[in-house]
Amino acid sequence: MTTRHRASEGTNSPSPRRRTVVKAAAATAGAALAAAPLAAALPARAATQAPAFLHGVASGDPLPDGVLLWTRVTPAADAVPGSGIGPDTEVSWVVARDKALTDVVTRGSTTATAAADHTVKADIRGLRPATDYWFRFSAGGTDSPVARTRTAPAADASVTGLRFGVVSCANWEAGYFAAYRHLAARGDLDAWLHLGDYIYEYGSGDYGTRGRVVRPHTPTHEILTLADYRARHGTYKTDPDLRALHQQAPVIAIWDDHEFANDTWSGGAENHTEGAEGTWSARQAAARQAYFEWMPVRPAIAGTTYRRLRFGKLADLSLLDLRSFRSQQVSTGSGSVDDPDRTITGRAQLDWLKAGLTASDTTWRLVGNSVMISPFVVGSLAADLLKPLAKLLGLPQEGLALNTDQWDGYTDDRRELLAHLRSNAIRNTVFLTGDIHMAWANDVPVDAGTYPLSPSAATEFVVTSVTSDNLDDIVKVPEGTVSAIAAPVIRAANRHVHWVDTDRHGYGVLDLTADRAQLDYYALSDRTAANASSSWVRSYRTRSGTQKVERTYDPV
């Protein structure tokens, strides 16, 4: 449940300071109850002590005067996620200006119930802008870890800089979430963006992992019901690196398809069989309910994840939902990708986005975008590279180059949006994108066929996956082998692409100033190693007013 609480009166106030790999060949074993395998996966503390905070604490959606706090309490050993059992439990929270929690600004409490899977949200308001706070939950004599959060700058504040972590596509079975650990260790993030595929819906062994399941999903079967989705979210939030990042900075999250099922559209999904797997409407409702229970995200317009946040005069961030309203993906080469009656955003969301971009008075207009907006063609790749690339992107393996799950499959919406940017002289629009399991730095051309003779309307930074299979994983060759061959060919056929890395896993750090928006790309040494190291790979920036990407050799 969510409660709303204002800061106590009279307190002292200091100065504010993928997209998609097809299913692997292996089939999974059958459907056990969600609660049973999860009980074994939880730390031993669950069997001996209750209540307990086994899934950490988190915060999200920072505002100038508040932030959303989240936790999940396990009130008894058998009250595991998705079980639907366990007593009502009073959960209290405290928010303070110091990590020792001595300078308290607000307290409150609510009741965690089985009806909400014993998750708790507290929408705290009355806080100071651009200020660090620390918080903790308590229940039955047990305290959660203490976590840091941070409010957004005041809407009219002159902000010299902002720094956000950027991640997407974290498949539990494919490896460990070291990317989250390295972001948590920085200690300099205003927030972090998760651009979708926070969880994966497949059964164990059904999704690409180079043929090796590093750690099995719970439940082991494909998730279909509310109990299933709750159990899967619960599994992910036992990861220590994910919990560490949630404890260090607020998250700003949107969903993509795997929070539901592969290649989700408004009326179904590629990975959903109507009837045999129940109705799509029931599965979609279950996935949505579990998402909002388990994520520190405020339900936004139309009960989805599209919403807008502001960070002073420096940036606003429009967050898109590109799954709930889209038309069904079409077959490549069918000709209907240009049909004006087909949409990836839905009419209301596209109008909302255009209006927000027009009205924005910030230096930067950021767009949280779950699938790539830049056009992409394959070109003349060798057959041994084209086949795995086609598999990763959902392209026909004969070589016709179009990924109809991203904006390439909905060209009328893209054309309308880019024309709007150009006709209204809207500058400094930066799309931040996940999904495709590769790293890209792109201009977003009005006409890719004539670029660079025709203009660029925006820029796009795409982060690779945290763990989900990319090209070298599918081919099963050493990291970097495929990218060395494929990247030059991709760039030659896509002149708006400044850089693409098809092979590495990692994350990005977005650094904003009035002069430039820069993404630093980081790669992990080994996604299957819990202690994987991280190294800087490249940095790209767009200078204010240019609408073009350039490489920089100065990571921040």
Q: Does the structure show a pLDDT above 70 at 397? A: no
When pLDDT is averaged across residues 515-529 and rounded to a whole number, the result is 97
Q: Which two tokens stand for residue 374?
A: 């830049």
Q: Does the structure show a pLDDT above 90 at 123? A: yes
Q: Given this model, what pLDDT does residue 300 score?
A: 86
Q: Report which of 19, 533, 55, 24 is spatially closest to residue 293, judged by C-alpha positions.
A: 55
- Structure-model confidence comparison of residues 507 and 20, the more confident one: 507
Q: Given this model, what pLDDT does residue 274 score?
A: 96
Residues 6+ apart with CB under 8 A from 502: 389, 438, 470, 471, 472, 482, 483, 486, 487, 490
pLDDT interval class at 38 (50, 70, 90)? very low
pLDDT interval class at 395 (50, 70, 90)? low
pLDDT interval class at 391 (50, 70, 90)? low
Phi, psi of 209, deg, nearest 5: -140, 30
In terms of CATH, what superfamily is 2-552?
Answer: Alkaline phosphatase D (PhoD) (3.60.21.70)
d(CA 7, CA 539): 40
pLDDT interval class at 478 (50, 70, 90)? confident
Q: Given this model, what pLDDT does residue 381 score?
A: 63
Q: Does the structure show a pLDDT above 80 at 85? A: yes
Kindly report, residue by residue over 147-181, the tens digit of the pLDDT. 999 999 999 999 999 999 999 999 999 999 999 99
Q: Which two tokens stand for residue 221?
A: 């079967």
pLDDT interval class at 132 (50, 70, 90)? very high
Q: Given this model, what pLDDT does residue 492 score?
A: 87
d(CA 413, CA 353): 11
pLDDT interval class at 394 (50, 70, 90)? low
When pLDDT is averaged across residues 410-434 and rounded to a whole number, the result is 97
Q: Given this model, what pLDDT does residue 282 score?
A: 98
Q: Is 492 exposed, middle or buried (0-12, 13-18, 19+ CB in 10 A)?
A: exposed
Q: Does the structure show a pLDDT above 80 at 389? A: no
When pLDDT is averaged across residues 538-550 and rounded to a whole number, the result is 98
Question: Per DSSP, what are the bridge partners of residue 2?
Answer: 121
d(CA 485, CA 385): 9
> In which order are the strands placed within the sheet that holds 315-319?
307-311, 315-319, 364-369, 429-433, 456-462, 439-445, 497-501
What is the percent of the chain where pLDDT is above 90?
Answer: 77
When pLDDT is averaged across residues 382-400 and rounded to a whole number, the result is 60
- Structure-model confidence comparison of residues 79 and 16, the more confident one: 79
- Structure-model confidence comparison of residues 28 and 369, the more confident one: 369
Beta carbons of 69 and 135 less than 8 angstroms apart: yes
Q: Given this model, what pLDDT does residue 541 score?
A: 98
Q: Given this model, what pLDDT does residue 195 score?
A: 98
Beta carbons of 542 and 517 less than 8 angstroms apart: yes
d(CA 75, CA 369): 37
Domain residue spans of the chain: 2-552
Return the SS3 of 360.
coil
When pLDDT is averaged across residues 315-321 and rounded to a whole number, the result is 98
- Structure-model confidence comparison of residues 125 and 4, the more confident one: 125
d(CA 179, CA 508): 9
Residue with tokens 């629009």: 429
Phi, psi of 461, deg, nearest 5: -110, 125
When pLDDT is averaged across residues 358-370 and rounded to a whole number, the result is 98
When pLDDT is averaged across residues 482-487 and rounded to a whole number, the result is 87
Q: Given this model, what pLDDT does residue 3 score?
A: 47
What is the percent of the chain where pLDDT is above 70?
Answer: 86
Average pLDDT, rounded, for the chain:
89
Q: Given this model, what pLDDT does residue 552 score?
A: 96
3-state secondary structure 363-406: CEEEEEECCCCCCCCCCCCCHHHHHHHHHHHCCCCCCCCCCCCC
Q: Report which of 205, 202, 237 is spatially closest to residue 223, judged by C-alpha positions.
A: 202
Kindly report, residue by residue over 175-195, the tens digit of the pLDDT. 999 999 999 999 999 999 999
Evaluate the CA torsion angle 293, 296, 302, 306 in order and state its sign.
negative
Q: Report which of 20, 477, 418 is spatially closest to residue 257, judged by C-alpha positions.
A: 20
CA 381, chain centre distance (Å) = 30
When pLDDT is averaged across residues 219-248 and rounded to a whole number, the result is 98
Return the SS3 of 246.
helix
Phi, psi of 114, deg, nearest 5: -65, -25
Q: Does the structure show a pLDDT above 70 at 242? A: yes
371 HSE (CA, 13 A, CB side): 28
Q: Given this model, what pLDDT does residue 336 score?
A: 84
Return the SS3 of 431.
strand
Q: Does the structure show a pLDDT above 60 at 40? A: no
When pLDDT is averaged across residues 486-494 and rounded to a whole number, the result is 88
CA 64, chain centre distance (Å) = 22
pLDDT interval class at 390 (50, 70, 90)? low
Q: Given this model, what pLDDT does residue 393 score?
A: 63
When pLDDT is averaged across residues 525-550 and rounded to a whole number, the result is 97
Q: Is the pTM of this model over 0.85?
A: yes
Q: Given this model, what pLDDT does residue 331 score?
A: 73
Query: Left if phi > 0, otherwise alpha if psi is -120 to 50, otherwise beta: which for 263?
Result: left
- Structure-model confidence comparison of residues 31 and 286, the more confident one: 286
